[in-house]
Structure 1
Amino acid sequence: MTLLPVDAIRALADQHQKPANVLFQYGTAGFRTLGSALDPVMFRVGVLAALRSKKLDSKTIGVMVTASHNPEPDNGVKLVDPRGEMLEASWETHATNVANAPTTDALIDALETLVKNLKIDLSKPAKVVYARDTRPSGPALVASLEDGLKALGADARNAGVTTTPVLHYLVRAINTKGTKDSYGDDTEEGYLEKLSSAFKQLVAGKPALPPLVIDCANGVGAIVGQKLARHLGNSLELQLANTAIDTLGALNNACGADFVKTQQKLPPSLASVLTPGQRACSLDGDADRLIYFYLDDHGQFHMLDGDKIAALVAAFVVELTKSAGLEGKIQVGIVQTAYANGGSTKYLSERLPVKCVPTGVKHLHHAAEHYDIGVYFEANGHGTVLFSPETLETLSTYQPSTPAQSTALTHLRNLTNVINQTVGDGLSDMLLVEAVLAHKSYSGVEWNSLYVDLPNRLVKVVVPDRSIFKTEDAERRLVSPPGLQAKLDELVRRYEGGRSFVRPSGTEDVVRVYAEATVRSQADELAFRVAGLVYDEVGGDPAKRPSEFL
Structure 2
Amino acid sequence: MKSDLLDSIMFTVGLLAVLRSKSHNGATIGVMVTASHNPEADNGVKLVEPLGEMLDQAWEEYAITLANCETHQQLQAALDDIIKKCKINMDAPANIVVARDTRPSGEALVASLKDGVKALNGKITDYGLQTTPQLHYVTRCINTANTPNAYGEPTTDGYHKKLADAFKKIVSGKPRLSPLLVDCANGIGAVALKELCQHLGEDLAVTSSNTDINGKGVLNFECGADYVKIGQKAPRGTSLSPNQRACSLDGDADRIMVIVSNLAGVFRLLDGDKIATLAAGFIMSKIKEANVTHADKSPLRVGLVQTAYANGSSTDYVKNKLQVPTVFTPTGVKHLHHEAAHFDVGVYFEANGHGTVLFSDAAVTAFKNAEGKNEAEKKAIETLRALSDLINQTVGDALSDMLMVEAILVCTQQSFKQWDSAYTDLPSRQEKVKVASRAAFVPIKADTELVEPKGLQEKINAQVAKFKKGRCFVRPSGTEDVVRVYAEAETKEETETLTYAVCGIVFDSFGGVGERPSKFKKVDAAGNII
Q: TM-score, normalised by structure 2?
A: 0.96
Per the alignment, residue 93 of structure 1 pairs with 61
The question of 1:535 aligning with 2:507 is answered yes
The question of 1:358 aligning with 2:330 is answered yes
Q: How does 1:425-436 map to 2 (within 5 A)?
A: 425-436=397-408
The letter for the 1-side match of 2:307 is T
For 2:494 and 2:200, locate their aligned partners in 1 and report how far apart those are by CA, in whole Å. 45
Provide, for residues 187-209 of structure 1, a one-character-per-residue CA deviation record: whole Å limited to 9, x for no partner: 01000000000001110011011
For 1:389 and 1:58, locate their aligned partners in 2 and report how far apart those are by CA, in whole Å. 24
Per the alignment, residue 264 of structure 2 pairs with 298
Provide, for residues 371-423 of structure 1, a one-character-per-residue CA deviation record: whole Å limited to 9, x for no partner: 00000000000000000011111111123112111110000000000000000
**Residues 435 and 511 of structure 2 are in contact (CA less than 8 Å); yes or no, is this contact kept in structure 1?**
no
Give the 3 Å change call, closer, same or farther, for CA 539–116 of structure 1 in structure 2: closer
The letter for the 2-side match of 1:80 is V
For 1:548, what is the secondary structure of its paired residue?
coil
Deviation larger for 207-216 or 427-436: 207-216
The question of 1:417 aligning with 2:389 is answered yes
The question of 1:318 aligning with 2:290 is answered no
Per the alignment, residue 312 of structure 2 pairs with 342
CA RMSD of aligned residues (A): 1.0
Provide, for residues 37-76 of structure 1, a one-character-per-residue CA deviation record: whole Å limited to 9, x for no partner: 1110100100110111011010000000001011111110
For 1:124 and 1:459, locate their aligned partners in 2 and report how far apart those are by CA, in whole Å. 49
2:495 equivalent among 498, 510, 523: 523
2:217 equivalent among 244, 249, 257: 249
1:41 equivalent among 3, 6, 9: 9
The letter for the 1-side match of 2:18 is A
For 2:29 and 2:476, locate their aligned partners in 1 and report how far apart those are by CA, in whole Å. 31
**Superposition deviation, residue 102 in structure 1:** 1.3
The letter for the 1-side match of 2:217 is G
**Superposition deviation, residue 464 in structure 1:** 2.2
For 1:274, what is the secondary structure of its paired residue?
coil
**Residues 469 and 490 of structure 2 are in contact (CA less than 8 Å); yes or no, is this contact kept in structure 1?**
yes
For 1:70 and 1:526, locate their aligned partners in 2 and report how far apart those are by CA, in whole Å. 29
**Superposition deviation, residue 98 in structure 1:** 1.1
1:470 equivalent among 434, 438, 442: 442
The letter for the 1-side match of 2:391 is I
- Counting matched residue pairs gives 515
For 2:519, what is the secondary structure of its paired residue?
helix
Provide, for residues 116-140 of structure 1, a one-character-per-residue CA deviation record: whole Å limited to 9, x for no partner: 1211001111000000011111111
**Residues 277 and 443 of structure 1 are in contact (CA less than 8 Å); yes or no, is this contact kept in structure 2?**
no
For 1:219 and 1:511, locate their aligned partners in 2 and report how far apart those are by CA, in whole Å. 30
For 2:52 and 2:310, locate their aligned partners in 1 and report how far apart those are by CA, in whole Å. 26
**Superposition deviation, residue 173 in structure 1:** 0.2
**Superposition deviation, residue 544 in structure 1:** 2.0
Per the alignment, residue 447 of structure 1 pairs with 419
1:549 equivalent among 491, 515, 520: 520
For 1:547, what is the secondary structure of its paired residue?
coil
**Residues 66 and 75 of structure 2 are in contact (CA less than 8 Å); yes or no, is this contact kept in structure 1?**
yes
1:284 equivalent among 227, 250, 254: 250
The question of 1:54 aligning with 2:26 is answered no
**Superposition deviation, residue 537 in structure 1:** 2.7
Is there any run of 5+ residues in structure 1 with no aligned partner, and where? 1-32
For 2:438 and 2:402, locate their aligned partners in 1 and report how far apart those are by CA, in whole Å. 36
**Residues 415 and 432 of structure 1 are in contact (CA less than 8 Å); yes or no, is this contact kept in structure 2?**
yes
Per the alignment, residue 527 of structure 2 pairs with none
The letter for the 2-side match of 1:304 is L
**Superposition deviation, residue 326 in structure 1:** 2.3
**Residues 216 and 283 of structure 1 are in contact (CA less than 8 Å); yes or no, is this contact kept in structure 2?**
yes
Per the alignment, residue 227 of structure 1 pairs with 195
Is there any run of 5+ residues in structure 2 with no aligned partner, and where? 522-530
The letter for the 2-side match of 1:308 is K
Question: Percent of pairs identical after alignment?
Answer: 52
Per the alignment, residue 108 of structure 1 pairs with 76
Q: TM-score, normalised by structure 1?
A: 0.92
For 2:276 and 2:11, locate their aligned partners in 1 and report how far apart those are by CA, in whole Å. 38
Per the alignment, residue 265 of structure 1 pairs with 233
Provide, for residues 411-464 of structure 1, a one-character-per-residue CA deviation record: whole Å limited to 9, x for no partner: 000000000000000000000000001011111100100100000001011222
The question of 1:64 aligning with 2:35 is answered no
1:128 equivalent among 87, 90, 96: 96
**Residues 180 and 246 of structure 2 are in contact (CA less than 8 Å); yes or no, is this contact kept in structure 1?**
yes
Per the alignment, residue 27 of structure 1 pairs with none
Per the alignment, residue 13 of structure 1 pairs with none
The letter for the 1-side match of 2:479 is T
**Superposition deviation, residue 182 in structure 1:** 0.5
